[in-house]
Structure 1
């Protein structure tokens, strides 16, 4: 690829429509890229153009970016994302695919590779191998915390920003990101507020004249996507579903997860930032790595979003891995 040109995709599934960005030639081997929690497909803006010879589709997970939210009264359990990944692969008609994931995305694609090993050619993980876990004696506490959060949930009081720069500054502060890295995510992760900036009315005014996948037919678009500037002066708010912040009701234990990860057969590349993230203690990560039969681990100095902050060394590691496992 080696350029930043991409197309916007709208991918209708049975129950909702997902948005995505696609780089490269659809005739090339596919990579499905999955972002982290409260990020979106913009997370791969700087990495995707560096992965030559592949058709890379970076999806906005349900409730993120420009994808549909799940229906009111439903939530975002981990397993439902796995269903969405499976439906995406079928929608594109890929007999097998390389899966690339960052953080939550890495947890999802590594789990999917265990569930459906015949569909996954190679596994590319950045800052994640399996989901968050919890000891069995915390099960009731987790259920209570999730139940209380669901019971008290309200979507009122969404934060409103005067302009894009203010939203970028907020994301830099909360996510330990540089301005350039935050911009890639924020530009895709806000929407215009209708009416008074102090009010709660939100108008989803994204104009996305991109490609729609209907069966196996693709209607070409120009890839442009922007906020409706008629509404932008009223302020901006996050486009992600506030329900994403409600904690999960259950988590696997490490023993349960071990049963899952041991089923991964795809050659795997795991890229880890140093120093490690607090929720990825080295001993736990090493135990998980030992469960995989064919895995290469690359450690790089950087932050959790190292693929967005310093994409070149990450791309080099992934390209070299893909070349070694090209047969």
Structure 2
């Protein structure tokens, strides 16, 4: 069965690509109003029930789940969003820093917009941390939580030094954000390398197109080159400030089912003892703490979704038991009423 991956305006420069797959899944582009503008994303079928809210990692966008979600349980939908300042979502107003509380407010705004009686969360990297913190703040509202290659906020030494550096960097990136000049521009191959290289070459080069799809635009002054459209202020980091003692204590309240995947070739970004100290508490507190250590890189869900899809499906099927009838898609948030299909596991053909 042949299906076609939608090409955005940015992707036209990559050339026409045809894909073959045995499975396809439909989604619709959406824009959800929030106090500072809108949050964009993809709502994956089904549309008439409450979905799993799905959150990407730092400087990525919702396309990071394009290869995973088609492999997952089709009885429940997924709303994969672009965080503020990334993908097609609105930036924060000039002069504002991207503190983690802005991202938590984004999640809260979405849950209130749809009047969800309960919330299902899935995140990767920063998205996992945000999902974890939201669940920590509102534990009684969460029916289940999925964390992919991150979990709790990382605890680092010399936190005051990192914060001071981030605040100083803000002024540099804020100038970029309000400057009318184009940001630095690169060729497509340079873009691929810049996206692939972080986190020890986390994204395989052949899958960088997924991130580029909602993340770059063609230069108007340098033909054949492109620039990143994400807000440069994101580079200052999320300024999350918890201590390990808080994380251990608050983990005792995390009674909801929790799926945790740790990739073997990915860093902990802190002393790993701190990670496992909290995980040990979760294993006692949660009614089902389903932990898996899986071979792969930080972007395992994008590079090799087949390694975790069956594990995720088993977890979702066990815990997708609460009513989802309230909180389906609203017609006024759909950007394109034509259904879009995307592949399961892809093989490019000429």
TM-score (norm 1): 0.82
Tell me by how many angstroms 1:80 deviates: 1.4
Tell me how many residue pairs correspond in the alignment: 288
Q: Which moved more, 1:8-17 or 1:173-182?
A: 173-182
Following the alignment from structure 1 to structure 2, what is the Cα–Cα distance between the partners of residues 128 and 168? 24
For 1:9, the equivalent position in structure 2 comes to 30
Alignment deviations for residues 166-218 of structure 1 (CA, whole Å, 9 cap, x no partner): 4223312345121232111111111233x312xxxxxxxxxxxxxxxxxxxxx
Cα distance change of structure 1 residues 306 and 29 upon mapping to structure 2, 3 Å threshold: same
Structure 1 165/84 Cα, relative in aligned 2: closer, same or farther at 3 Å?
same
Structure 1 CA distance for aligned equivalents of residues 269 and 221 of structure 2? 40
Q: Retained in 2: the 8 A contact 1:103–1:127?
A: yes
TM-score (structure 2 length as normaliser): 0.76
Instruction: Name structure 1 gaps, 5 residues minimum.
Output: 198-232
**Alpha-carbon deviation of 1:27?**
2.4
Change (3 A) 1:2 1:53: farther
Correspondence for 1:308: 302
Are residues 1:272 and 2:272 paired?
no
Matched, 1:296 2:320: no
* Aligned pair partner of 2:250 in 253, 257, 260: 260
The answer as to 2:103 corresponding to 1:81 is yes
> Please, which moves more after superposition, 148-157 or 287-296?
148-157
Q: How much is the aligned-residue C-alpha RMSD, in angstroms?
A: 2.1
Match status 1:134 vs 2:156:
yes
Separation in structure 2 between the aligned mates of residue 28 and residue 117 of structure 1, nearest angstrom = 22
Which of structure 1's runs of 4+ aligned residues deviate more than 3 A? 151-154, 247-250
1:24 aligns with 2:45: yes
Equivalent residue runs for 1:159-198 within 5 Å: 159-162=184-187, 164-174=188-198, 176=201, 177-193=203-219, 195-197=220-222
Matches of 1:57 and 1:2 in 2, distance apart?
A: 19
Aligned to 1:323: 317
SS at match of 2:208: helix
CA change 1:139–1:7 in 2 (3 A) is same
